[in-house]
Amino acid sequence: MEAARLMEVVEGPVLPKSVTEESVLAVHHWTDELFTLRVTRPASFRFRSGEFAMLGLMVEGRPLLRAYSMASPSWDDGLDFFSIKVPDGPLTSRLQHVTVGDRLLLGRKPTGTLVLDALTPGRRLFLLGTGTGMAPFASLIRDPETYERYDEVVLTHTCRNVADLGYGASMVDALGDDPLVGEIAPSKLTYYASATREDFIHRGRITDLIDSGRLFSDLGIAGFDSATDRVMICGSVAMIKDTRALVEAAGFEEGSNAHPGTFVFEKAFAG
Ligand code: A2P
């Protein structure tokens, strides 16, 4: 045992204590710019659906890590991540080339605010995501607790192009076959996808769809009700700023792990 540990130290680069080394189980390229990874999950890795962790690679003998939301639910044996490919991105330009069996680094400490515990009890949960901001919601829509806490869940996903919606749409399509939420999710979840730069059933930014009332008329509801609705927002910095302004104007108050409120937000990570 001691000898084996010594060999590791002598042979490979030393891993920081804050990470574990995991294996890639699957890779799926959704578009030229979007892909998902499934990696092994250490037994000690506990997280709440909606949280993020550091994920990365050893590059020239040093760890290169970025924050990534877990896209799989907290009960799943493996961990899924949804990433864009930034052509000159230090990490994603490399990460996009990993294949099954490759080793990745995973931070030991998941964290985040897009968790059910950061919201006070409500009746309807809105999950408003753009781009890779779908990732934490892909986790939450497969967590039974989401449906125990809410009568209705509205998931919106907005991307530039229709093909970018593919991952989210396939997650929603598969919900009926899910071992834990297959019975309940299809009756409680409404999926509302829109594209901004191509023709699609729904077209436009989520902010415009909220502001114009179009989202609500399409859903057949009156509008936001901060007394019973709860909101999670995940997208770019600009998307969060603008969406936040709208929900705050509708009377929602920001929550956190320590002080639950009526809405929470988090930047969609990339890099
Ligand atoms: P748009 O095509 O009008 O820029 P990105 O890939 O840049 O993160 O964008 C993902 C989606 O988020 C796109 O549909 C984009 O629309 C939309 N988006 C970008 N900025 C904002 C914003 N400030 N508010 C709402 N939606 C936004």
Please say if the pLDDT value at position 9 is more than 50: no
Does the pTM of the predicted model rise above 0.85?
yes
Provide the pLDDT for residue 223: 97
Residue 36 alpha carbon to ligand 1 centre in Å: 21
Which numbered atom of ligand 1 lies nearest the CA of 195? 14
Residue 188 alpha carbon to ligand 1 centre in Å: 27
Phi-psi category of residue 251: left, alpha or beta, with phi > 0 → left and psi -120 to 50 → alpha: left
Residue 209 alpha carbon to ligand 1 centre in Å: 12
Residue 160 alpha carbon to ligand 1 centre in Å: 7
Cα dihedral 212→125→147→266 (10° resolution): 110
The arithmetic mean of pLDDT across residues 163-171, rounded, is 98
Pocket of ligand 1, beta carbon within 6 A: 130-131, 158-160, 196-197, 205-207, 235-236, 238-239, 242
What is the residue with the minimal CA distance to atom 5 of ligand 1?
A: 131
Residue 158 alpha carbon to ligand 1 centre in Å: 7
pLDDT band of 21, cuts 50, 70, 90: very high
Segment 66-103, tens digit of pLDDT? 999 999 999 999 999 999 999 899 999 999 999 999 99
The edge-to-edge listing of strands for the beta sheet with 19-29 is 62-69, 52-59, 103-107, 19-29, 34-40, 78-84
Q: Residue 254 gets which letter from DSSP? A: B
Segment 255-271, tens digit of pLDDT? 999 999 999 999 987 64
What is the SS3 string spanning 71-85? CCCCCCCEEEEEEEC
Which numbered atom of ligand 1 lies nearest the CA of 236? 8
Which numbered atom of ligand 1 lies nearest the CA of 268? 8
Segment 104-147, tens digit of pLDDT? 999 999 999 999 999 999 999 999 999 999 999 999 999 999 99
